[in-house]
Amino acid sequence: MTAEAILRPVEFHERIIKLQQRMQGQDIAGFLVTQHVDLYYLTGSMQAGMAFIPAAGAAVFYVKRSIERARKESVIPVEPMPSMRVFGTALRERYSSIFGTAAPVKIATEMDVLPAQTFARLAAQLEAAAGHVSLVDGSSLIRQIRMIKSAWEISRIEAAADAVAESLHATVGMLREGMSELELIARIEYEIRIRGHMGMMRTRSYNMEVMTGMLGSGEAAAEPSAFDGPAGGRGLGPAAPQSVSRRAIERNEPILIDVGCCIDGYIIDQTRTAVIGSLPDDMAAAYFHSESLIREAEEMLQPGTSCEVLYDRALKQAADFGLSAHFMGYGADQVRFLGHGIGLEVDEWPVLARGFTAPLETGMVLAVEPKFTFPGRGVVGIENSYLITDKGPRQLTKSPEGLIVLT
């Protein structure tokens, strides 16, 4: 672990204070943190357990395993996780001012990710131990706090961006006609792994898995999948139904290289398009339009701009180009967004989509990915990640732009 990877404890405490302030504003007495990414974000440790953060006062991290490691990592006190049968009683004994009264109490937790069985057991235990306790959805509270990145978090995303740029530069010259998609992604993965990539990119969405990237060539890249993105990819079979296949890369077809990297937990997301030879005219034009779209988006990535305004503008541009049917997928498999937040997870808030009316704020980091899908032929596009600043967007991705053309 590099020296830069060590985050000062004060930043974790500042995050907890922000969460407590939001709880106080919504008459929530405490937050029961269960998801491992949220646990890391608030405690500094990802050991198995649950953290209880009262709206006022000291938080506790109840750990099942490993207690020893959690005590080395966590910035808040660590206690052994009691049996679920008595967990409610343990909370009542420690936080009697919350659970020891007859008044109704609201405890928040991350209902967007909490398994139903665990939720039912927690709700029953809290009700039995304290009475008048209701579990409410607090997922938006923590996701809103996580939207704004600190200087340290941005430095980790930039480190991941450096690793991706260096890895793509090291491997693009190896690209040859007849090479399989699998071989190409394996070479890229090797390069980013030796530069610190954790080997995974986390996602919050239920049943949504993210590999190192979505790399696909020709018609294989355009095959739809369950993955919530503009390009699914053929994959290696029903058990891995997205991204790379064993298909051989051919001349004069688009090669979509949508590659991420995760260093110290933080993710960068970028896409570049390559071709051996030349693209068909309509696909070359579509690629050119994707760059026009991202330039337009950059002009609008300003604090105060509504997220859905950026998406609506992109839809209008795609229509002006005559490419509405191909924008961000095709047919029933089109996705309804232009970009998304990134950080500890690849699908963070905000989302550049209709219905997401929240304004952009300084400190947000977003991946913007205008792409065009041509069924049976391929996908072209570009993706950059940006930091929102008071002076406009700062591009975090480092790889050179432009269509990568190999002879």
pLDDT tens, position by position, 76-95: 999 999 999 999 999 999 99
Q: What is the pLDDT of residue 211?
A: 83
| Predicted confidence band of residue 130 (pLDDT cuts 50, 70, 90) | confident
In this prediction, residues 144-160 reach a mean pLDDT of 97
The reply to whether 3-145 and 148-406 are identical in fold is no
Place of tokens 């609201």: 106
Half-sphere exposure (Cβ direction) of 196: Cα atoms closer than 13 Å: 21
Q: Evaluate if residue 104 carries a pLDDT over 80.
A: yes
pLDDT tops 50 at residue 4: no
Contact partners, residue 304, CB within 8 Å, separation at least 6: 359, 360
- Is the per-residue pLDDT at 192 higher than 90? yes
Looking only at the bridges linking them, the beta strands covering 404-406 and 266-276 are parallel
Above pLDDT 90, what percent of the chain? 93
List strands edge to edge, sheet with 48-54.
Answer: 78-80, 60-65, 48-54, 30-33, 105-109, 133-137
Average pLDDT, the chain: 96
Mean pLDDT of 327-350: 97
pLDDT for 150 beyond 70: yes
Residues 2-13, buried b or exposed e (16+ Cβ, 10 A)? eeeeebeeeebe
Residue 353: pLDDT above 50? yes
Q: What is the pLDDT of residues 201-214, one digit of tens each?
A: 999 999 998 888 89
pLDDT (tens digit per residue) in 269-292: 999 999 999 999 999 999 999 999
Average pLDDT of 333-356? 97
Residue 6 has pLDDT above 80, yes or no: no
> What percent of the chain has a predicted confidence (pLDDT) above 70?
99
Classify domain 148-406 by CATH architecture.
Answer: Alpha-Beta Complex (3.90)
Residue 7 banded pLDDT, cuts 50, 70, 90? confident
pLDDT tier at 5, thresholds 50, 70, 90: low
Given 3.30.1330.40, 3.30.56.10, 3.40.350.10, 3.90.1300.10, which CATH number is that of 3-145?
3.40.350.10
| Beta pairing class for 348-352 and 378-381 | unpaired
- Average pLDDT in the 146-173 region? 97
Provide mean pLDDT across the span 175-183.
98
Q: Note the Cα 234 to chain centre separation in Å.
A: 22
Quick check: 3 pLDDT over 60? no
Q: Locate the domains of the chain by residue range.
A: 3-145, 148-406
Asked if pLDDT for residue 221 goes beyond 60, the answer is: yes
